[in-house]
């Protein structure tokens, strides 16, 4: 047996259609019950329990109990980023699902990628932050510049609190629809939460779609213009 990371194991776990549907459903960032995930996967509760056990053992999911229910979510940002990158690769290679609908354009425009903004607006925000050197490349990573800290603070984001978290402040995430980079990490989450707080945008029920109000989209465009 070859030494090193076992990508075959992860590939087999993610590659199962039922488990792939469960993981995709959790890309909304919401914790879901085993019953809800069984419905997403189109399998029985017993089969879903087996799938969830394998995903949790592999460190792809985490579970917490509340009352009689067990809630599952992605283990962390890294799992979400890998899934988003795999969606991008699948789309680029033409491996897309045949089912389409009215939500497709909305998903491509703005959606939740685990806990940050993705889609055309997410890419636009990232491009602006990079162009203004608010976010800068630091080797293979990203960092927030002094100007970027001032920009984020002026927008009402508590950078000091984010810095005390174990999560990376800035991370790049490959957008599956735009096939370009959007902003993940603590800062990406903070920006999305701030859009919600200001009433610029809201999540559509039971969907990854993020809908901006007319005023919210104008304010967003003004903030991240050019």
CA distance 46 to 41: 12
36 and 109 together in one domain: no
Check: CB of residue 162 under 8 Å from CB of residue 189.
no
| Residue 208 buriedness (CB in 10 A; 0-12 / 13-18 / 19+) | buried
Q: Is residue 132 part of a domain?
A: yes
Measure the CA–CA gap between 226 and 208, rounded to whole angstroms. 27
Token match 């087999």: residue? 12
Do 41 and 125 fall within a single domain? no
DSSP class of 134: S
**Could you report the per-residue pLDDT of 3-36, keeping only the tens digit for each?**
778 889 999 999 999 999 999 999 888 889 999 9
**CATH at 36:** 1.10.10.10
Domain interval for residue 111: 79-223
Q: Does the pLDDT value for residue 52 go beyond 60?
A: yes
Number of domains in the chain: 2
Q: In the chain, pLDDT over 70 holds for what percent of residues?
A: 96
Residue 1 belongs to a domain: no
Decide: pTM greater than 0.85.
Answer: no
Same domain, 19 and 65: yes
User: Both ends of the chain: CA-CA distance in Å?
Assistant: 52
Residue 101 has, within 13 A of its CA and on its CB side, a CA count of: 5
């Amino acid at each position: 047996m070859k030494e090193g990371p076992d990508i075959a194991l992860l590939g087999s776990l993610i590659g199962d259609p039922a488990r792939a549907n469960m993981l995709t459903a959790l890309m909304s960032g919401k914790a879901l019950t085993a019953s809800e995930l069984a419905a997403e996967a189109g399998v029985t509760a017993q089969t879903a329990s087996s799938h969830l056990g394998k995903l949790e053992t592999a460190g792809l999911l985490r579970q917490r109990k509340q009352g009689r229910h067990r809630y599952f979510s992605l283990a962390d940002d890294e799992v979400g980023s890998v899934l988003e990158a795999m969606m991008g690769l699948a789309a680029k290679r033409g491996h897309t699902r045949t089912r389409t609908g009215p939500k497709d354009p909305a998903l491509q425009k703005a959606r939740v990628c685990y806990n940050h903004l993705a889609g055309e607006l997410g890419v636009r925000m990232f491009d602006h932050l990079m162009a203004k050197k608010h976010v800068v490349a630091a080797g293979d990573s990203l960092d927030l510049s002094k100007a970027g800290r001032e920009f984020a603070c002026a927008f009402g984001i508590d950078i000091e609190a984010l810095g005390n978290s174990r999560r990376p402040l800035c991370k790049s995430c490959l957008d599956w629809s735009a096939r370009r980079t959007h902003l993940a990490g603590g800062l990406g989450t903070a920006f999305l939460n701030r859009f919600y707080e200001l009433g610029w945008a809201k999540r559509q029920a039971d969907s990854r779609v993020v809908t901006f109000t007319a005023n919210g989209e104008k304010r967003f465009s003004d903030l991240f213009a050019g």
